Structure 1
Amino acid sequence: MKNKMKTRMILLLGLIVGFATSCTNDEDISKNPDGKGTVSFLVTDAPFPTNLVAQANVTIDKIEIRKADEAEGEETEGSSFMVLSEETMEFNLLDLRNGVTAELTNAELDAGTYDQIRLHVVDASVVLSDEASTTFDLKIPSGSASGLKINIKDGLVVQDGGFATVLLDFDVSKSFVVQGNPLTNAGIKGFIFKPVIRAVVEEATGSIEGHVTVGDTLAVGNATVEFYDMDSLVTSALTDSTGFYAAIGLPLGEYDLKVLADGYVEAEVEDVAVTSNKAVTVDILVEPEEAEETPAEGDEGTGEGTDE
């Protein structure tokens, strides 16, 4: 007996978007006689210095997906892209942090293996959080003619029945490269848009979430939590005002976490296991940095004195 499969695509924001699949049997929904599955596409984002930037905007006007050769699971000369959506959509990626996602499209796909998504980004801009709301309109590399090609990690396998979700993770910190030094009077001069996006099948991923605090009560906001697979940085998250962070769409395995926050000692948590479709809670304690002592006036320090 057949199961019906749906697929959706989701766009995520953070300082780092993915696919998830769950199957239901034909007692829950009717058969699909056409041998198709439905895919949902979502988008999300990885963290970004929100104390300086109010908006990091992207406009998408087309989403396509490529079907790989069914026999080999590899790209062939006959492989081609099919259009999933031609609706123009604008997202402020800073609204998509800590597990928040936005739906890009839902589509029915023929059974088979899909290995690549092509995202047509036609506009990008950054709005600073200063009084003038300074806005930078950014140049799109490769334009809207060809689109941004994103490989789907391990491929998306669409079966005749069921449901799948593809998560696209937009790494804002790497995609919007700051020009100038925000710590000087000259400040930010602009941004270069170099989109960095990963795509995963959500069913084959899990998540890590928790709070960063000093003791049991004092929340640490605007702290960066980095997630490493071995020595490779996979993604990162930025804590909110309550100290909460979340990273979704993490491939299964073990991760080392590192917390970086101004005024606090760097903290690490090792060997956090991520399993399929489960959220692992990891609360992290940090300690304030010790203030450097300033020698009192007239203090000769530790040097030896001389006899008169």
Structure 2
Amino acid sequence: MTLVYCIHSFRKHREVIFHTIFFSQLFLLFVSLFALNMILSFSTKNATPETYRDFIQALRDQLTAGRPTSHGIPVLPRREDVPDAQRFLLVDLTNSQGNTIRLAIDVVNAYVVGYAANGRAYLLQENARDNRPPIHTLFHDATTRIDLGFDGSYSGLSRAAREAVERNTPRNRARNRAGASAHDNTPVLEQIPMGRNELDTAISLLHSASSPTNQALGFIVIIQMLSEAARFRAIEGLVRTTMRETYDPLMRGLAMESLETHWSDLSEQIQRAQQRNETGFNRTIVLHNVGNERREVNSVDSPFVRGVAMLLYDRNGNCNPASGPHRHDEL
């Protein structure tokens, strides 16, 4: 009698556990699909540090909904696990003149792949040639699709934006104290100011699409103020201070550069440390703080790691084929 009861009890509990796991996974899938079917929006008109903070958090929430974590940080999905119909998050950006562009952000890596405005779709070249994102699923209501002559890497964007940056440099130097130190040999990215007004202008540059060099400049501003801010709380904090009525535009310094160019490295080391049930890294990552001081990051206990809001899936560490070069963290 006792044996029969135990068997019956085991079967009953097994069914409860199975249904609990099944419905938990179903709920997470529902949350993910619901989030990715929403269109986020942000307007520079009357923008404040608080509205920007809430927008970036909403962007993070949609990118990471239902995702597993590594040392408490959400890990973005493998491309194989995302249906084409759910591959991109759409974001509407509107400026003070009422011009709106619709950005497409890849949920696998938070990269901007293109945008639509005025019935036209503009798509960045893909620099990971073997693993192109399914951009054919985007912007079906656009009457014209234009493939831009540059990719989304910072090196590609910098080359394309150089003419526009050189044209705007005297004005930026006059307005921004940080920009006043720029000289002819200053890298293009370090000559591009960011802030509320600069985002407003970037939206106009993409909306009007007057020239490829202006579009590249607009992409650089928007990518850093959206994608990079979503990845890193420190970058969000720097940008947030420029959402006031009066502010000094933000210029890309060593602190921002070191984070932007080491996101994939940080993602890799954090995930591999968890796989070993450890906190230490296999190799040191060199970053810089806001005072431009060199800092070595060797552990998930570093304050730099606590400022990472999402991780790129570590394909190599999970025994998958290499994913090819990354876009925005490639210089």
Q: Work out whether the TM-score is over 0.5.
A: no
Which structure is larger by alpha-carbon Rg, 1 or 2? 1
Which band: TM-score by shorter chain?
Answer: under 0.3
Normalising to structure 1: TM-score of the pair?
0.24
Name the structure where helix makes up a greater proportion of residues: 2
Name the structure where strand makes up a greater proportion of residues: 1
Normalising to structure 2: TM-score of the pair?
0.23
